[in-house]
Amino acid sequence: MSASPGPLLAFRNVFKIYGEGDTEVRALNGVNFEIHPGEFVAVMGASGSGKSTTLNILGCLDVPSSGTYDFMGVGVETLDRKQRALLRQNYIGFVFQGFNLLKRTTALENVELPLVYRGTPARERRRLAEEALGLVGLGDRMDHTSSELSGGQQQRVAIARALVTSPAVMLADEPTGNLDSQRTHEIMRLFRDLNEKRGITIILVTHEDDVAAFAKRHIRFKDGNIAYDGPPVPARAGAAA
């Protein structure tokens, strides 16, 4: 898949409908937006607003009921399940609230895992994993297991694992939900640095305004529609320092 000159990702009149008749729920109701390479976007909204459905479609875990989702110029809804899995494996990095690390393996081995699935040779896997851990500030913790790392360090390992494949976009789903305020701000500053210094495209799903303040653009959902799409409103003093 080669990058197109247009947007990296685009929703074109996307509907997602569950059920039918009296039980029909329109999770997304004709949504349109574009995300370009190098953006840092916070997707926001209350529970049931459509933000999680949007993330699932963006991550190729689901497809629209109607409308189109273009990923680097390719209509994802035209791909079969195997093709979508390959797209996820090769072009998307995921970061979740729960870290999802293997408990008895080292930070280095956790970061190597996506490359194992790709069949990357062992020496190259180690080099790329070491580089990714260095980017997130854990070059001195490579041989530590998850139980030997703090929550913030575990999330850094998860971010390194998402980075190691050089994805076209990183999707972060409530990545600070299990962290205290200090670790939250450390992780969000890391995301900001990866975006500003490395040009990594990041889409962050959050319901917290102080977390969203680190992003450069907000897309706020309400009742399956986009209620706001634009620059962040001014945060409280020091919220994104």
pLDDT band at 241 (very low <50, low <70, confident <90, very high): very low
Q: Decide if domain 9-230 falls under CATH 1.20.1250.20.
A: no
Amino acid at 174: E
pLDDT band at 23 (very low <50, low <70, confident <90, very high): confident
Q: For residues 13 and 55, what is the distance between their CA atoms, to the nearest angstrom? A: 16
* Segment 72-116, tens digit of pLDDT: 999 999 999 999 999 999 999 999 888 888 888 999 999 999 999
Contact 211, 177 (CB under 8 A): no
0.75 surpassed by pTM: yes
Residue 37 CB-density burial (10 A; 0-12 exposed, 13-18 middle, 19+ buried) = middle
pLDDT band at 234 (very low <50, low <70, confident <90, very high): low
Query: Rounded to 10 degrees, what is the CA torsion of 205, 206, 211, 216?
Result: 40
User: Residue 240: pLDDT above 60?
Assistant: no
What residue segments make up the domains of the chain, in order of their start?
9-230
Mean model confidence pLDDT for the chain: 91
> Greatest CA span in the chain, whole angstroms?
57
